Structure 1
Amino acid sequence: QVEHLCKRDLFLTQILQGRKAPDHTTIDRFIRRHGNAIDGLFFQVIERLGSLGELSKDIIYQDGTKVESKAGRYSFVWKKATSKNLDKLYRHIEILLSEANNHLGWTLDFKDYDYGLDTLIEQLKGTGKDLIPKRTGRGHRISEVQKLYRDALVYKEKLNRYKDYLSSMVGRNSMSKTDPDATFMRMKDDYMRNGQLKPAYNLQVLVDSGYIVGSLASADRTDYATMIPAIDHMHKSLTWKYSKYCADSGYDSQQNFEYLEEQGVRAYIKPQGYEQEKKRKFRKDIGKKENMTFDADQDCFICTRGKKLEHKYVRTRKNQYGYETTTHIYRCRRGCKTCPTRSACMKRSKAPYKQVQVNNKLAKYHRQALNLITSDEGSEIRVNRSIQAEGAFAQIKANWSFRRFLHSGMSGVHTEWLIMCLAMNAIRLGNRLARNEIGKPFHYRISEETA
């Protein structure tokens, strides 16, 4: 399409000034080779927007979406299946090396499978025998040495392939054969209604006054792990830092709250479960710790039947990114087995006694965030997040029908996405110039009548 526009569009032909229009391969090659330059150009544009007074430089909004990869939809590789196949392959290699030792009188090592296969292949080549049969098929038997050589080559290729898959899937559970950086994710546009997973990338945008001022392409299916790298990259590239941050519950994690606190950024993040806690069903659920009484002096919860859930132990865990969290476990010591409200309190749990888990540090961050988002300023900020951050994706995905990448690989995908962000910022600036709104950063105000 760009090649066609360079030949037919009056604006682009004037820019070319009579020079030959580039073809699509030249455009593709330029994008692949100059990713860093395009990234630098993106932030130069943001700096220029800031000098024009188009940015508030105060609050940043983040949201994410998933865009399908160029890879085939059935090119999946699953980590669990690969690990299982690798274990089976190890057993087959042991049998193969054992057969080689018995048949040829060798002593090949069973522990190092790579070394064992390489040694077997080299020693078979040194026998001087024909390792590749001249005729194959029905009625033509192959010798034992030829069979060993054939199986050794097959196992060696599989071993290298499985190891490559697992090394490419560090921190992920899936990948695509034709685009190893893509992860299989569940998309919203599920036309078959069967929950089909597709190779995709998780795209993040940071928006200020309707302009995309930061972006990140990630292979992670979750949003909460993308906040810190996205903000770090943006702050390293800009000459100012934001003092407020707003996002939905997908970015709610202790690590994110702690990072924002260290950076001196006020976090307007909706806690997970915020919408459920407002419902009557949640407030009447006697099994929820939020509906129990907490005795700070005795450090215990008291259920509706007056039984104490005493502090039992502290559990420390590390997530897949190496971040450590501490959880306090409270458990009732007696009375749960014969309690008349057991079915309402413990539902279908087969545990003998009621148990609840509390992360005090995360609970403190949740209280702070709840106070911020329920204030008048917080309500207005959340409305602006829906308008600005989600509006950016609506423009690119719905209005421009951008649903699938043309490039593969993380660098190519990130560069292609940056070009889309540059285009959106340019169109928005042009519209504001036409309306004579330059110098007045956009921020939707909730009037008293609306409130």
Structure 2
Amino acid sequence: MYKDYNMNQLTIPLDIEVMIPGDDIAVAVNEMVESIPEAPFKAFEHDFGASSYHPRMMMKIILCGYAQSMWSGRKIEAELGDSLRMMWLAQRQRPSYRTINRFRVHPAMAALIKEAFIQFRMQLQAHDLIDADAIFIDGTKLEANANKYTFVFRKSVEKHQEKLRAQSRLMYDTMHAQMIIPALLEESESLVTAGHLNTMHQALETVEAGLTETIDATEAVEARKAVRAKRAIIRKTKRKCADLRAREEKYTGQLAILGTRNSYSKTDPDATFMRMKEDHMRNGQLKAGYNLQVASNNQFVLGYDLYPNPTDTRTLPPFLNTMRDQFGHLPEKIVADAGYGSEANYELIQDAYERTALIPYNTYYRERKHAHTTDAMHPANWAYDAENDIYTCPDGRAIRFERYADRTDHYGHTRRLKIYASADCAGCALYDQCIKSDRRINKRIQKNMNLEYFKAQARRTLSMKENRMIYQQRKIDIETVFGNLKANLTFKRFSVRGARKVKIETGLALLALNLRKFRQIQGDLSAGI
């Protein structure tokens, strides 16, 4: 016996909403988008042309599509005719994939996504699903929608530009000596710019025109040949000058795009080449990508931002500013791994933001090992006389304070160092173990007292039981977010290009990730788990 099945009998359709379970992802999407105030949607209004689809509806279908790992506008369009949840969210409206793609990169989407994160965080707080005391910060690299062979590297550009400018200077000196052009540079100047090359090119055109008039006015064959030979040289020089000018403009433009970066992709100039964990060839190949920084709590993303630099250390200051000013959430405790443990970051968190940093420094774990604490040759284990500011080495020799020194790194941060030196290391039985240099020199050590203070603060803070438990939660919290984003949501590569569009797509993907997590919790609660 079979259940009743008849394709020829007309049935009355039910309201789609009745067929959507209460813990479905579409319900979570609908509630979250409806909670957003009206103000961010005002930017989508227009007073001319045909009426457009409502931005709330467009936001819902895109978020629902992203929550099901659909990154293509065409796939979302197809689902509008196949999926019950998509039909319900769109109320049977069917915008085209072009409309969907235009909407998700609309300039007003940035403010809308920011407000969505704020409203969702308030919803999580209302349900007591996040802790207001701490946020966990970490970064991951995502591949850009760019050709991996269209790279531009700073070192290569600077090398070719240096050779080019040497040729430009030689041409300038030659033309100035031949009185073709006047002096374009001051005595102290040596750089021939694209503007100078343009002036030189115009001067060559004038000389060429004069030679052409001379040829036209000359009847003697030999004389005409001699002038044409001169014109041929001028024309060759003019072509070379035009080539130098074009290349100078090209290299200058590339350096302007690079800014402070070391590389970029021609197909997505905002993307930087960096090493990815997804290295299937295992050859360390660089790929164009973005460094995604995320702040989470209880595996919910509370804020995010994208940066072009591959290292996490320099992303913390601007990211904390983003969390405070844009997402309005900067709790008491900032938790991150040792990749963020720098002097500048400690100083920023404790002095500027007046927060507690649960961040180990780069040698924190090594210093806790038995091999380090028992290493008599390491200066950190030497006896120190605070009253006289003297270290004593294992051979009993005094290492006295010598002078202060300032060291400014590549990014402009200045460190104040204290230099200590031994008066004489001659005859020391431990010399070869203590000093690795081939030259016979005395022992010198340097101490960054500001960093030493912050390191002591980090050791004291991380030694507290409560803080230690919070820090141990970091891996479970933030790493799970990245695992869900890349493995479960399969969001590993962007489908749009440009920093602005990429940031919007990232926000939509992270909102979809939050909604999936929220729906799962609601399902567990309803099932009594």
Give the TM-score range, shorter chain: 0.7 to 0.9
Confirm whether residue 408 of structure 1 aligns to residue 483 of structure 2: no
Give the CA deviation at 1:334.
0.8
The equivalent residue for 2:368 is 278
Amino acid aligned to 1:391: T
Question: Alpha carbons of 1:68 and 1:350: their partners in 2 closer, same or farther (altered >3 Å)?
Answer: farther
Post-superposition CA distance 1:108-163 (Å, at most 9, x none): 525442232111222333443799xxxxxxxxx99212212211221111111111
Confirm whether residue 196 of structure 1 aligns to residue 285 of structure 2: yes
Question: Alpha carbons of 1:353 and 1:173: their partners in 2 closer, same or farther (altered >3 Å)?
Answer: farther
**2:338/2:359 contact within 8 Å kept:** yes
Confirm whether residue 210 of structure 1 aligns to residue 283 of structure 2: no
Amino acid aligned to 2:235: Q
Counterparts of 2:128 and 2:346, CA distance in 1: 30
The equivalent residue for 1:124 is 204
Give the CA deviation at 1:273.
0.9
**1:43/1:237 contact within 8 Å kept:** no
Counterparts of 1:81 and 1:290, CA distance in 2: 42
The equivalent residue for 1:97 is 172
Counterparts of 2:367 and 2:401, CA distance in 1: 24
The equivalent residue for 1:13 is 87
Give the CA deviation at 1:59.
0.6
Counterparts of 2:439 and 2:501, CA distance in 1: 51
Amino acid aligned to 1:120: M
Give the CA deviation at 1:351.
6.2
RMSD of Structure 2 on Structure 1 (CA): 2.5
The equivalent residue for 1:41 is 116
Which of residues 290, 302, 321 is equivalent to 2:380?
Answer: 290
Amino acid aligned to 2:132: K
Give the CA deviation at 1:386.
0.6
The equivalent residue for 2:428 is 339
Give the CA deviation at 1:325.
2.0
Counterparts of 2:86 and 2:210, CA distance in 1: 68
Post-superposition CA distance 1:177-196 (Å, at most 9, x none): 22222222122232222222
Runs of 5+ unmatched residues, structure 1: 132-140, 439-451
The equivalent residue for 1:145 is 234
What is the TM-score normalised by the length of structure 2? 0.75
Aligned residues: 428
Greater Rg over alpha carbons, structure: 2
Counterparts of 1:347 and 1:437, CA distance in 2: 66
Give the CA deviation at 1:92.
0.6
Amino acid aligned to 1:278: R
**2:145/2:493 contact within 8 Å kept:** yes
The equivalent residue for 1:248 is 337
**2:270/2:499 contact within 8 Å kept:** yes
Runs of 5+ unmatched residues, structure 2: 1-69, 213-229
Counterparts of 1:38 and 1:129, CA distance in 2: 64
> Secondary structure at the residue paired with 1:225?
helix
Counterparts of 2:89 and 2:286, CA distance in 1: 43
The equivalent residue for 2:103 is 30
Counterparts of 2:287 and 2:304, CA distance in 1: 22
What is the TM-score normalised by the length of structure 1? 0.88
Give the CA deviation at 1:256.
1.3
Identical-residue share of aligned pairs (%) = 28
Deviates more, 1:390-399 or 1:407-416: 407-416
Counterparts of 1:286 and 1:32, CA distance in 2: 60
The equivalent residue for 1:326 is 416
Confirm whether residue 4 of structure 1 aligns to residue 78 of structure 2: no
Amino acid aligned to 1:10: L
Counterparts of 1:16 and 1:333, CA distance in 2: 81
